[in-house]
Amino acid sequence: MYRFWQRALRDISANKFLNGITAVTIALSVLIVSAFGLMALNLHSLMEKWRHGIRVLVYLEPDVSSKERKTLEDRIRRIEGVSGVIFISKEAGLAGMKERMRILDTLLADLDQNPLPDTFEVSLDAAALETNRVEGIVSTIQGMASVEEVTYGKVWLDRFTGLVHLFRFGGAAMGGLFTVAAMFIVANTIRLVLYSRQQEIEIMRLIGASDRFITAPFYIQGLFQGFLGGVVGLAALYGLFEIASRRIGGYLPVGFGDIRYFSLPTVFSILGCAMLVGWIGCYLSLKGFLKR
């Protein structure tokens, strides 16, 4: 094994430029693919948090008596999956809006009358959210007397889900493309090294060297290129992530947590994949060469 490493390192040092170009290509592939992956991961976890924080807002018809309101509240509480109901009077709703949207302060102050309806804020338990029973609950409430309208963040949730899917699909497509490109570049680098060592390989064969003995250093070289590319790509992504998280982090609503980098097992998996790309590139190159 020591000899294989020695020969691999000698080839790497003799072909620094070629090996550098290959490692940079793998690094770019890892960077692009992992960037998509990281975005999809964070959007997904953001979406999950959002999904779990969903509140159903039940707007009441105007002039609902307090008795009717109480009856309605009891009926909503009895629905399976409902974990809590809070009444927000239209006055409290307006005050809350003024608090949240200070930018509209003057506009809201000029209102002759309160345009907001009385509202129930209905929270759902985790099981209802997990099993997608939200729509069933919403339509049940919608059918109750004194209810004007029921809303929840479905439209936004759907759009967000679409965005996450887009990132996943885009990531997979770009990833596939770049991975194939990286493999071919590794294959070509190894092929060039093979041509430069053609005479040596021929002599090795004549003295009884097995294919394994001849090819092992090239595989080490491919794995090394993959490893180096993986480390550089992930390090670059981490740098960009740090800059981005500092800028974006402040804009995230409280309770949505922080954006995060890949876990250690994921980092190792990505490195493993980059090394596999190097290995496959090497295999593609050697397969044809040794048959000759």
Q: Which residues bind other proteins (CB under 8 A)?
A: 2-3, 199-200, 202-211, 213
C-alpha 186/C-alpha 25 separation (Å) is 9
- Give me the least distance between CB of 208 and other proteins, in Å please: 4
CB of 30 or CB of 220, closer to other proteins: 220
CB of 80 or CB of 200, closer to other proteins: 200
Of the candidates 193, 264, 165, 276, which has an alpha carbon nearest to the alpha carbon of residue 229? 276
- Count the Cβ atoms, other than its own, within 10 Å of residue 31: 19
CB of 1 or CB of 109, closer to other proteins: 1
- Give me the least distance between CB of 286 and other proteins, in Å please: 14
- Give me the least distance between CB of 200 and other proteins, in Å please: 5
CB of 74 or CB of 211, closer to other proteins: 211
Q: Is the dihedral of CA 18, 222, 191, 186 positive or negative?
A: negative
- Give me the least distance between CB of 281 and other proteins, in Å please: 23
- Give me the least distance between CB of 205 and other proteins, in Å please: 8
Q: Encode burial over 256-272: b for 16+ CB neighbours within 10 A, e otherwise.
A: eeebebbeeeebeebbe
CB of 253 or CB of 288, closer to other proteins: 288
- Give me the least distance between CB of 213 and other proteins, in Å please: 5
Of the candidates 255, 271, 239, which has an alpha carbon nearest to the alpha carbon of residue 48? 255
CB of 62 or CB of 208, closer to other proteins: 208
